[in-house]
Amino acid sequence: MQKLPGFRDFLPDDCAVRNYIFARWREVARRYGFVEWEGPILEPTELYKKKSGSEIVDQLFNFTDKGEREVAMRPELTPTLARVVAAHEREFKKPLKWFSIGRFFRFEKQQRGRLREHFQLNCDIIGETALAADIELLALCIDLLRAFGLTENDVVVRISDREFWTDFLRERNVPADRWDNLLQVIDKFGRESREKTIEKLGELADLVLKVLSEGGKSEKLDRLVDGLRDRGLAEFVDIDVRIVRGLAYYTGIVFELFDRAGNLRAIAGGGRYDNLIQQLSDDAVSMPALGFAMGDVVLGEVVNETPHALKQMQQAIAAERKIDIYVVIAKEKHRADALAQIQQLRDHGYRVDYPLTPTKVARQFQAAEDGGASLALLYGDEWPQVKVKNLTTREESLIPNKALLDSVAKFFNVPDSA
Ligand code: HAM
């Protein structure tokens, strides 16, 4: 039996990478005062049909359940977040700063950086219109990458403003019901043929293409970059009005994060969606919101391709994998004594391993090395003393078993083993 295309098995090495990514995501989000929440994996298909836009609806993993409901595996979190906030809005003080780490599903053509199942970190701020919130969110996004050892030479955030384009269209008297379609064409610029773009833009083609090639300016975007400059993060960002984002609900500042070399698809993307919560609320609760999602697939590739980030990850994974202590059972008659102390050591938080069945002493020491243990404890003829071996210096000492916990605590610099 083969696994389905675009899905992944996580063998221990893959899980270690995933845990490394999640730990940094969680740690940095907490540094910014975000709190964790989660939604269901399955939602009514209607939730995405309403607001996400046609591209994502075409990619839905959807089916009819046994209760005849039309349901979809979630392709993204934002509609769920809007639904949840609209329903529980009164229970929380604004602004909300919420993050979530979870699995998402899109029926995409499998290619580099794109699978049918991936993990995202979502960070959203709800209930704040001030540009300070956009700056804070971008700083968080950049700091997340810095936590992986990535610098402004490795990654770039391209920032834009949908209002730049809606103002542009309004000034040219383009009816508002055409805006969404035109923004989709701008989003696909460079991915679709030039002829197709020109045909879809119609009478606006010359003007729009001029802005796309020359770039655009906006006072709001300048203020945003200034805010990041105050934090020493301006080198990470470029203003780029070609970014409008594929999802239909964005209303203001939008951004995407890329590797500087430009080899890969976006690492993260997001922006303001000031109308979505109101549109999903029964009593039309108006609630400005902004957020982004960062995916594990492209991020993993960027880390792999950036030697200093890769080294940092490998060292962190090796340190996380290590056990502290290996218990060598040299004489089987002391197995029960050893197990009693293993239990105690584990209760005190040490990572302890030992042979489940009778094993030659040399093989047990090999297992201690393989597991990265710093200490070996040998239970043999010395009992009721235990032979303690420092596996780095090879020094050995005999410790009465009653004093073992204190001795181990001293070795690992644990202040109080009681
Ligand atoms: P998105 O740009 O569709 O935004 O996805 C965010 C990130 O998820 C992408 O930049 C990419 O790294 C990753 N990603 C998306 N699809 C795949 C895939 N098929 N395989 C691997 N990675 C993928 C959103 O989802 C918005 N809901 C983000 C947001 C949150 N906006 C406001 N709040």
* Strands ordered across the beta sheet of 352-353: 352-353, 325-329, 375-379, 385-390, 396-400
Assess contact for 354 and 327: CB atoms under 8 A.
Answer: yes
Dihedral over Cα of 171, 173, 179, 182: its sign: negative
Ligand 1 centre distance from Cα of residue 269 (Å) = 6
Residue nearest to atom 17 of ligand 1 (CA): 114
For 176, the token pair is 């508002």
Which residues of the chain are modeled with pLDDT < 70?
416-418
Q: What's the predicted TM-score (pTM) here?
A: 0.93
Within 10 A of 175 (CB to CB), how many other CB atoms are there?
Answer: 8
Assess contact for 412 and 350: CB atoms under 8 A.
Answer: yes
**pLDDT digit string (tens) for 61-85?**
999 999 999 999 999 999 999 999 9
DSSP element (H, E) containing 7: none
Domains of the chain: 12-39+77-316 (3.30.930.10), 323-411 (3.40.50.800)
Which of 58, 76, 78 to mutate for ligand 1's pocket (most ligand atoms within 8 Å of CB)? 76
* Strands ordered across the beta sheet of 289-295: 35-36, 96-105, 117-126, 289-295, 268-272, 253-259, 155-161, 237-239
Distances (CA, A) of 353 to 324, 329, 401, 415: 8, 11, 18, 23
**CB-based pocket (< 6 A), ligand 1:** 76-78, 106, 108, 114-115, 118, 120, 122, 124, 247, 266-270, 291-293, 295, 297-298
126 Cβ partners below 8 Å, 6+ apart? 81, 85, 94, 95, 96, 98, 277, 287, 288, 289
- Please tell me the predicted confidence (pLDDT) of residue 416: 64
Q: Which atom of ligand 1 is nearest to the CA of 115?
A: 20
- Please tell me the predicted confidence (pLDDT) of residue 315: 97
- Please tell me the predicted confidence (pLDDT) of residue 51: 72
Assess contact for 299 and 18: CB atoms under 8 A.
Answer: no
Q: Which atom of ligand 1 is nearest to the CA of 106?
A: 19
Q: Which atom of ligand 1 is nearest to the CA of 269?
A: 2
